[in-house]
Structure 1
Amino acid sequence: MPDLTPVLLSLQLALVTTALLFVLALPVAYWLAMTRSGFKPVVEAVTALPLVLPPTVIGFYLLLALNPSAPIGSFWVSLTGDTLVFSFSGLVVASLIYSLPFMVQPLQSAFESVGRGPMEAASVLRASRLDAFFNVMLPASTRGIVTACVLTFAHTIGEFGVVLMVGGNIPDRTRVVSIAIFEQVEAVNYGDAHVLSGGMLIFAFLTLFVVYALNRRHAVRVG
């Protein structure tokens, strides 16, 4: 039986990343859905970069930006006494960037599908913009929110290149499940690799099943 610590660490990383990204991506996605600014394509391109850039490229630049000799890394060391590279905190930062489009794009699509009408109607009824957002827009975007959170969580669980570059392979600290699988294969320990990989396969299937089931249920209701 393989050590399940990497699985628990991956779950912790995915939960933290999903929660933080939800908070950070909400205003970005809403702005992208509602704005007519000429800067919209630029912001969309920046948020979508992790979809097309090789993970090792993202990991390399994050390694340069987060190491203790860089301003961000130095500030973090002075603040916490620990480094961002080769730490769980560094994995969180890397995951926030790498999983960003998986949160922003479903949220943006959900907000666009709701449109401006409900927000304008709430404004006519003298609701503040913030009240209208939380009491009108978010409840109407539930399906997109669930999809965004599920995809972000699943994508973070499966990260390899970025987390390896930024976090390395430190037991109980940065060794997540994808790295543990790679390590078992390198050691020709295919039995444990099968257990971990099979678990990931089942998890990936269930994730996609949930997303497609939610989309189908919504389509049936709309139809």
Structure 2
Amino acid sequence: MFELSPTDWMAIEVTLKLALYTTLILLVIATPIAWWLANGRAPGGLRTTVQALVALPLVLPPTVLGFYLLVLLGPAGPVGSTLENMGLNHLAFTFQGILIASVIYSLPFAVQPLQQAFANLGRRPTEIAGSLGAGRMDRFFTVILPMSRGGFIVAATLAFAHTLGEFGVILMLGGAIPGETQVLSILIYDHAEAMDFASAHRLSLGLLIFAFVVLFVVYAINRRFDTVRL
């Protein structure tokens, strides 16, 4: 029942690679954004604008985001045409292109848990560490990171899991090239369209079980750290 074809394994490999790279990049990008949103000083309008831009993928149809990224990164777009003028390839229908799309589309799933963790932490611990002579990097690794580890775990878990289920934005920008841009969600659609419901069921069931485990872990982590704070 659970025997997978070579095409299935290629899609699994591309999906896991995409999810891993997306998660690592998002943790680097989302951390300063979340810290600034939680503790930075800025006019209210600027903060609200940044929050809205970060959260936009939550309400924007994935096909809309994918379409504009296709226009931007494709051969006729400003980024794609510039790359081609430099002797490079445009980013439409490439793994690099869907990686960019995935990072943008999953950004709120990394920023929001980190912002909440930083807001709960407050600025007092870092101010105390600073008064004791700790530098910025020292404060981050010895104070902020350990005290906000629950937020980082949730952010990484949600970003990884959300990437596994991406469909519309990947299909618009990357298509379904086996071994390059064909991820699990697109392969499931292809199996169903070909009336191969058995193959679609195997992959769908695997993603369903994984999604449940991810949510269970996230809620367990949140409950644990809520108990610790109490």
TM-score bin (small chain): over 0.9
Q: Which amino acid aligns with 1:139?
A: P
| Residue correspondence of structure 1 range 1-223 to structure 2 within 5 A | 1-2=4-5, 3-38=8-43, 39-77=46-84, 81-223=88-230
Could you give the per-residue CA deviations for residues 101-145 of structure 1, whole angstroms, max 9, x where no partner exists? 001111111111100100110111121223212221111100000
Scaled by the length of structure 1, the TM-score of the pair is 0.96
1:83, distance to aligned residue in structure 2 (A): 2.5
Q: Which runs of 5+ in 1 are unaligned?
A: none
Q: Once superposed, which parts of structure 1, at least 4 consecutive aligned residues long, lie more than 6 Å away?
A: none
Q: Which amino acid aligns with 1:21?
A: L
Scaled by the length of structure 2, the TM-score of the pair is 0.93
How many residue pairs match? The answer is 223
1:217, distance to aligned residue in structure 2 (A): 1.6
Structure 1 pair 157–80 and aligned structure 2 pair: CA distance change class (3 A): farther
SS of alignment partner, residue 4 of structure 1:
helix
Please give the alpha-carbon distance, in whole angstroms, between the structure 1 residues aligned to 2:124 and 2:87: 46
SS of alignment partner, residue 97 of structure 2:
helix
Q: Which runs of 5+ in 2 are unaligned?
A: none
Please give the alpha-carbon distance, in whole angstroms, between the structure 2 residues aligned to 1:97 and 1:195: 29
1:70, distance to aligned residue in structure 2 (A): 2.0
Q: Is the 8 Å Cα contact of residues 111 and 155 (structure 2) preserved in structure 1? A: yes
Q: Is the 8 Å Cα contact of residues 35 and 118 (structure 2) preserved in structure 1? A: yes
Q: Identity of paired residues, percent? A: 52
Q: Which amino acid aligns with 1:196?
A: L
Please give the alpha-carbon distance, in whole angstroms, between the structure 2 residues aligned to 1:12 and 1:49: 25
Q: Which amino acid aligns with 1:64?
A: V
Please give the alpha-carbon distance, in whole angstroms, between the structure 1 residues aligned to 2:101 and 2:229: 38
1:85, distance to aligned residue in structure 2 (A): 0.4
Q: Which amino acid aligns with 2:22?
A: T
